[in-house]
Structure 1
């Protein structure tokens, strides 16, 4: 097995592509620049990473990217050396943290210094354009920038649209993540025997991901037997028994920071699944196959929703939240819902060549013992959807 710490991906070229995508969206909207706090957006735009999970909830790291001009990364104290080899970052400065944990009652004062520093960069590098996109910002920061006549725009839209079309370099990075993820799945399958706990089985995927250069896992979605229904329970200390179904969703951020989002359902203890397990599995497998075959560039989200696989009535109450969603550095735009949910949760758009998507299925009766969870990661090509995930289904159950 390859150790993905030494990646084969050309990260310099990858950075140029991704930064170009961001700036293309800024120009299209006539924005002077973008302020990024979301660590996944910072990663996409600059390819820099520092304590990703911790900085998701501690606002100590941000980046300012002018539409035309030098990029300034504001990093946690003592961390400037982490970006020394990243050519797209022109300057690293210590971040000014004004969230309450870091600033306490001094937050109202520190946010003024923070805003003054940003305004100075905007005045220097944005050509008089004070229309600045921001992805995530607490109210005090919004008020401080607005007081300085900064016209705040929606940066999350900018970044989601920038991230939706993947280059060949991104696909190479994603395939390395998928290879690590699927190696972890193989090790989990080898370890699945009666008597193992859900937590211990799930830990194997984490261990493999870290060993092979991956980063973190977003959820804890592995359950067994009666804990598979209803879905979205997290793995726990339950001992998995012979004859139990084990369903899981990887949600894994692997090598290169790319997400591998695959779901499978297995049977513990060998032998044949019972008739009900096989019946549920056949419906889920057919839903995945049908929806992958349906997918074409140029199809609207609404058209896909209307034409997608029709779950039998008995499974609708337990249907998943989406029929497919985008995937890149994590779950991304778009998210396309079932036709039944369109009026209150749907939004339209277009399936495009170069999108990477995850096609979902969750099948189980309301109040039933078990659910089947399946999911495939695909690339949209001119000819339709091409599978990126390759871990086999339980074809002998069908």
Structure 2
């Protein structure tokens, strides 16, 4: 393992399609519409299981999942101004931001489109209390009309005034996050097609990072190449800024800076990329600046990271409980423990998702119960470092199949 990549591998991702022009999606309308129907039905199935009359959604990722409606996703993640509600025995309704209704033309899952009622302080100031009452009246009237006497309403995220106003109208609040996370955890074949395409775009961005991993380039410059490829090929945003080099790789979680990378230093990153169709490509790689051969220390740490990923990959199969996975998982050596990543596995779909399985030193009575299921997409993680060293970050994204798992990313890992 004198070198992380060979020139022929690099060329696979620096082809004319990805290097000189945007990647053009091969996804057909048929595939996209199948994914849309599947996702909305997944929410409806969970609603029936939890016996709720309605599911109220403010999380823009859940709105995208249910209705494929996308509008100012990052802004609306912290400004609750557009929302959707699925009625168990009624329509799926989207309340859109004023002036934006045309963005939803042609979306088959939306039965009714209304103008949203904003009651956050930024938009209503001292009139917020009045606005929330109008908003709650509309929601409660719909539940009464379609609920058949069922007053249970599941909600994914909602500020206190909204919860209290709905309760004042006799609605019973049900925590909706479990419902939405479990629904999203099992992917359809069409969703996997969409995710493969996001990963393809992400890998083109990773190839750009690799191509520009030369002495003197700053961490931020390298990170910008992933943004560029994602944006021009129809992607959305990056959830984090996790790319560092040399001594800034340890401890992990430092965000990219204007520090220039030096020849021979490790460059480590975690993409956390929300790409085309709203799906996440959560991949990590590490390599040397200037394509130099790794030092003995770098090689030893890299090999440990590879061992961890390979060992844990072999355990990912349907029916494996989280506790059993933990018991059989790769045990991190003591010298690396203080610098470890807290997770061994986590789900991924339109973002990082349930389930999350802690690394074995962190697996205790607070760790969630459950098992790996066919149709889940799982990220297998590794972060290896020791006192005074750089850190190696590796992560791969796999589909759980009936017989084991299939890696969805193809960019060289080892």
TM-score of the superposed pair, with normalisation by structure 1? 0.97
Matched, 1:54 2:75: yes
Unaligned runs of 5+ in 2: 1-16
State the number of aligned residues: 393
Residue 393 of structure 2 corresponds to which residue in structure 1? 373
Q: Do the aligned residues in 1 keep the contact of 2:331 with 2:360 (CA within 8 Å)?
A: no
For residues 263 and 285 of structure 1, the distance between their equivalents in structure 2, rounded to whole angstroms, comes to 12
Q: What is the CA–CA distance in structure 1 between the aligned matches of 2:317 and 2:210, rounded to whole Å?
A: 33
Please report how far the alpha carbon of residue 3 of structure 1 lies from its aligned counterpart in structure 2 after TM superposition.
3.0
Paired position in structure 1 for 2:309: 288
1:186 maps onto 2:244 in alignment: no
SS at match of 1:269: helix
Distance 1:271 1:86 in 2: 50
| Contact 1:4–1:255, Cα closer than 8 Å, also in 2 | no
Residue 144 of structure 1 corresponds to 165
Give 1:283 deviation, angstroms.
0.2
SS in 1 for 2:154: strand
Q: TM-score if structure 2 supplies the norm length? A: 0.93
Following the alignment from structure 2 to structure 1, what is the Cα–Cα distance between the partners of residues 152 and 233? 42
CA offset at residue 102 of structure 1?
A: 1.1
Matched residue SS, 2:346:
strand
Q: Is residue 245 of structure 1 aligned with residue 266 of structure 2?
A: yes
Residue in 2 that maps onto 1:382: 402
Q: Which residue of 2 aligns with 1:111?
A: 132
Equivalent residues of 1:362, 1:372 under 8 A apart: yes
- After superposition, residues 193-232 of structure 1 pair within 5 angstroms as 193-232=214-253
Superposed CA deviations along residues 21-49 of structure 1, whole A, max 9, x for unmatched, are 00000001111010000000001011110
Encode CA deviations 1:104-162: one digit per residue, 9 max, x unaligned: 11111110000001011111222221101000000000110000010010111110000
Are 1:72 and 2:93 matched, yes or no?
yes
Match of 1:27 among 43, 48, 53: 48
- Whether 1:177 and 2:176 are equivalent positions in the alignment is no
* Distance in 2 between residues matched to 1:108 and 1:85, nearest whole Å: 35
Find the aligned partners of 1:222 and 1:345 in 2 and give their Cα distance.
30
**Counterpart in the other structure of 1:354:** 375
The unaligned stretches of length 5 or more in structure 1 are none
Change (3 A) 1:237 1:172: same
Shift, 1:289, TM fit:
0.5
**Corresponding position of 2:23:** 3
Moved more, 4-13 or 250-259: 4-13
Distance in structure 2 (CA, Å) of the matches to 1:14 and 1:126: 27
Within the candidate set 91, 102, 109, 1:81 is matched to 102
Q: Secondary structure at the match of 1:349?
A: coil
Distance in 2 of aligned mates of 1:212 and 1:130:
44
Alignment partners' CA distance in 1, 2:394 and 2:201: 19
CA RMSD of aligned residues (A): 1.1
Contact 1:247 1:263 in 2 (8 A): yes
* Residue of structure 1 in register with 2:7 after alignment: none
